[in-house]
Structure 1
Amino acid sequence: MAESSYSARHLTVLEGLEAVRKRPGMYIGSTDSRGLMHCLWEIIDNSVDEALGGYGDRIEVRLHADGSVTVTDEGRGVPVDIEPKSGLSGVELVFTKLHAGGKFGGGGYSSSGGLHGVGASVVNALSARLDVEVDRDGKSWGMSFRHGEPGTFAGDEPTSAFSPFTDASKLTAKGKVKKGVTGTRVRYWADPEIFLPTAQFELDALKERARQTAFLVPGLEIIIADERGEEPVVDSFKFDGGISEFVEYLAVDGPVTDVWRVTGSDTFSEKIPVLNEATGHMDLQEVERECEVDIALRWGTGYETEIRSFVNIIATPKGGTHLAGFEQGLVRFFRKEIEKNARRLKAGSDKPEKDDLLAGLTAVVTVRFPEPQFEGQTKEVLGTAAIRSIVQKQLTNHLSTLFESAKRTDKAQCALLLEKMVSEMKSRISLRAQRDTQRRKSSLESSSLPAKLIDCRSRDVEGTELFIVEGDSALGTARPARDSEFQALLPIRGKILNVQKASLADMLSNAECSAIIKVIGAGSGRDFDLDAARYGRVILMSDADVDGAHIRTLLLTLFFRYMRPMLEAGRVFAAVPPLHRVVVQNSGRKPNDLIYTYSERELEVLLKDLKKRGKKYQEPIQRYKGLGEMDADQLAETTMDRDKRTLRRVGVADAQQASRVFELLMGNEVAPRKEFIIDHADDLDQERIDA
């Protein structure tokens, strides 16, 4: 657009939005994929606010192949009539003016996710093109924008010729709709001049947010359609349960308590600036607000803590006053309860810390009230001070009632929970004492390490490797096969404790688990310190059979539950020993060739190839049933020599999904595991079973 085409009207429309384009980070956090997703969530949240108010129960988000996105809802539709003060239609006002919309003054929404009224206008300002269509009053109305300025495009693309409105904006009637049909459709193309070339809509994050919102607004259906691939992918999320169902979805461990629900409301007053029409100045006026509190929480057998907090269904990942009130209420209440029952619980004089009380807790904390005060437009931290005491009061009152209940199930669960908390406290104190003792020992002393550890000479952590080997026979072969400079060996006796089923105290008292934790030397659980680990790599070396695979799974369960940072850092590996040794006979004095294969299929392919080439091989072919059957040279060459071996790195791409899998396959609940095995029996590769 040429400079000469600007008019005074354009300047008033763009004066606020130009600031957004100059400093987008102030409004959306960043200009990478995170900022791009934030823009999309601003538009989605506007639709969710309509559903939250009882208008419409279906939202569709469609990611188009050309990089644009469309959000469609069945709400009331953005107002299309003229707003008297500005002389603009409701559509233009919402999409071009900062701090404008139905979320101010209390007329449009009693509570909403958008507090500043800048969401739609900011997305508009940062878009190469934005088209909005509104179904309302029996008609479908439309308006287009370029960089936040209203006008008309000559074509359907964001690069099409654009003509801005000069005298007055025109809200175009696109057609008629049936009586009573309302809704809004917003399609926009993010501006490539603003966002980084690598920025893209992240489908997994979008689906996770949609699932989360569907939990928070029972009965709302959110459809995510991705048309960017060869085949469109469509996912639908709808849950009739509330946040209780959300907690059950998030929880991955066995239950100690049922899901407890805390609901209530209270009022608070705050001073807000209000425009005095007589003087034209902003005057402070005290208003009374009502805050609704809705909390679902349950404790499980694990030690991980998962707390999600929301304000008017908008996630606050960095917490704020509502989360502070929740945690403060829990800590104060349970400290009093443990102190009251100290003799029965054998708690002694020690005070539980917050981590002891929150261990195994899964909770969703939501509050709803008008015009919450956030720290920044990204709404990651709630700042309204009065909410802290309201949440704390509601939570404490509910827990007091629960712990005074005469019901047998309530009394049993409350007693179990207190015992778990005291157990966590004792384990923490024991672990800390154990670690302090280890630190006091000089590096020359080895008495704190298990006697069966065969350590390496190097003290350069980055280059060292700890092989956890199965049984004494494997150890006998591995000892001469290792490079003693940087490879250490720790033998274990068969199958270790399944820590997914066992308590923390049982794990610590188990000789094999305790030895592994002690040898790695970085603690366990919440106290695990990755920088203190004594080895750069941990390699699980078990037999290539079903028992070996089971042992490897048990070891991985131990690492996942109590030393997860090792997995997340990519420092845990599985050795890949061979299954077969084929001796290929050569003619004359040429020495025979040795070829190792790692599966039945690989052996079959090799033998066919040898036959085709007329090569003979010794029979019977050696089949390794265990590591102990190998010579030291063979084990070194195939499994331990850095230049020739193959290792499988074990990682955690999605910790939450991994937790679900471990609980399903290794946890206490038998029925879901049985169902999983039956459902997936046909998918099993039988060649992976050592028969």
Structure 2
Amino acid sequence: MTESGNPSQPANVNEYNASHIQVLKGLEAIRRRPGMYIGSTSERGLHQMVFEVVTYAVDEHLAGHADTIDVTITPDGAIRVADNGRGLPVQVEESTGMSALERELTELSFGTKPHSGYGVSGGISGLGLCVVNALSSRLTVEVHRDGHRWTQAYEKGTPLTPLTRHEETGNHGTAITFMPDAVIFETTHYSFATLSQRLQELAFLNDGLAISLTDERPERPARYHHTDGLRAYVAHLNPYPPSLVHSPAIAIESENQDETISVQVAMQWNTWSPGEFRSFANSTRTHEGGAHEQGFRTALTDLINEYARRQRHLRANDKDITAEAIHEGLTAVVSVKLARPVFEGATRTKLSNPEADTYVQEAVHEHLTDWLDHHPDEAAAITRHILNASI
């Protein structure tokens, strides 16, 4: 028999039982493991809180119900996001006795966007408002819909007040004000520059959407509204007109018959930079690329070589132009919107939907080939630039 205390003695299995299993439920799980939902508790995660709320307003725009989003950093450092969409639903469900608004803000299972009535939605986790509410020391929501103004206050995700109906109004929309919990985040100081860059990006990616940012710490307003979409985005990234190989930027837009995937592309070659590529899925920056980026690169390499051979810039025994030469000096933005995006990677910013690869290839090949055929002078300039880069 092994003596007690001997390292070789088997552990007493009765010391590990069901009482040692801890199951985190609802908002408790979010507060205990915030990095799983917003990426980190650093400055990056702090700003992601804002973007998750803004995403819901952008979803209202994509659904055709909002054209304005106002973001404000209040004097005490809180964030207010207001839109002129339909307003979060306030109806009380008989089965739970809770309003749809409260369930959206407090329940993980209900907060997921497939249940929210949007065909396309952004954000990292798809839980948006529920996560922001759980990670805020306080949050208030103000809704204008159904002919009245409605309000409710929360603390760390728990309702402090019932949903309250106020005066009549003909307005519509949602305003959410929240203070990130200093116990959870490493810092609660927002960077105007970081917010400004992302909000301008969203305005580029969503035609017809006006987004404003006001900093009341002191006041420093900014407003973004781009009617030319991704073409304006590329012009913003290519600030030196004399260096442009062609102008304006090439713009491509396509949507499949089932309306389950759409793609927008803007691209322009220049002589001053090695090139810059930015890709997005449902307005979320895909820093690690993915299927849509692969589809674009594959289509571009194939069709440029096809065009060069068709125009006899390449002879039959010449090698294909490399992808590196084709991308030299190219500034491009690719944005796809899908009904069910699948993200992977360390930061969940790599798109893995195979249909995105296939559809982007088809759309770019068809529309860019047509553009080159109808713009022979610009096409010749682009081809010369690429051939020079391949030498």
TM-score range, shorter chain: 0.7 to 0.9
**Partner in structure 1 of residue 31 of structure 2:** 21
Partner of 1:51: 61
Match 1:366 to one of 328, 332, 335: 335
The alpha-carbon deviation at position 115 of structure 1 amounts to: 7.4
1:402 aligns with 2:368: no
Q: Give unmatched runs, 5+ long, in structure 2.
A: 1-23
- What is the alpha-carbon distance in structure 2 between the residues aligned to residue 58 and residue 399 of structure 1? 32
Note if 1:307 corresponds to 2:277. yes
* Residue of structure 2 in register with 1:78 after alignment: 88
Corresponding residue for residue 242 of structure 1: 229
Q: Does 1:149 align with 2:158?
A: yes
Where do 4+ consecutive residues of structure 1 move more than 6 Å? Answer: none
In 2 relative to 1, CA 233–423 (structure 1 residues): closer, same or farther, beyond 3 Å? same
Query: Is residue 189 from structure 1 mapped to residue 159 from structure 2 by the alignment?
Result: no
1:209 equivalenced with 2:198 (yes/no): yes
Task: Give the drift of 1:346.
Answer: 8.0
Asked whether the 8 Å contact 2:38–2:124 carries over to 1, the reply is no
Displacement, 1:95? 0.6
Correspondence for 2:214: 225
Alignment CA distance shift 1:265-1:218 (3 Å): closer
1:126 aligns with 2:96: no
Cα RMSD for the two superposed structures: 2.3
Structure number, greater radius of gyration: 1
Cα distance change of structure 1 residues 345 and 71 upon mapping to structure 2, 3 Å threshold: same
Kindly provide the amino acid, as one letter, of the partner of residue 297 in structure 2. E
Which secondary structure does the structure 2 equivalent of 1:302 belong to? coil
Of 168, 171, 174, the match for 2:163 = 171
Which protein, 1 or 2, shows the higher relative CO under an 8 Å CA cutoff with sep ≥ 6?
A: 2
Q: Secondary structure at the match of 1:195?
A: coil
**Runs of 5+ unmatched residues, structure 1:** 1-13, 153-169, 268-287, 427-691
Equivalent runs, 1:356-395 vs 2, <5 Å: 356-375=325-344, 379-395=348-364
Residue 378 of structure 1: how far off its partner (Å): 5.9
Structure 1: distance between partners of 2:289 and 2:93 = 37
> After the TM superposition, which residues 589-604 of structure 1 pair with which residues of structure 2 at under 5 Å, given as runs?
none
Contact 1:98 1:117 in 2 (8 A): no
Deviations 1:402-436 (A, max 9, x none): 3333xxxx11111121111111111xxxxxxxxxx
Tell whether the 8 Å contact from 1:345 to 1:419 is kept in structure 2 after alignment. no
How much has 1:328 moved relative to structure 2? 1.2
TM-score (norm 1): 0.50
Q: Tell me the TM-score normalised to structure 2 length.
A: 0.86
Matched, 1:111 2:120: yes
- Counting aligned pairs with the same residue, the percent is 35
Q: Quick check: 1:59–1:71 contact (8 Å CA) kept in 2?
A: yes
Counterpart-to-counterpart distance in 1, 2:221 and 2:83: 17
| Structure 1: distance between partners of 2:93 and 2:124 | 20
**Are 1:294 and 2:264 counterparts?**
yes
Deviation of 1:117 (Å)? 3.6
Letter in 2 for 1:118: L
State how far apart, in whole Å, the 2-side matches of 1:22 and 1:347 are.
63
CA deviations on 1:233-285 (whole Å, 9 max, x unpaired) are 11111222221122112113422123112122226xxxxxxxxxxxxxxxxxx
377 and 80 in structure 1: CA distance in 2 versus 1, 3 angstrom threshold? farther
Asked whether the equivalents of residues 136 and 156 of structure 2 are also in contact (C-alpha less than 8 Å), the reply is yes
Letter in 2 for 1:331: T
SS in 1 for 2:260: strand
1:88 deviates by 2.1
Structure 2 partner of 1:624? none
- 1:331 aligned to 2:321? no
Contact 1:306 1:362 in 2 (8 A): yes
Residues 74 and 182 in structure 1, CA contact (< 8 A), matched pair in contact too: yes
Distance in 2 between the 1:384 and 1:95 partners?
A: 29
Structure 2 contact 149–169 (Cα < 8 Å) conserved: no
- 1:293, 1:204 → 2: CA distance? 28
* Residue identity matched to 1:356: A
Instruction: State the distance in 2 between where 1:113 and 1:177 align.
Output: 32
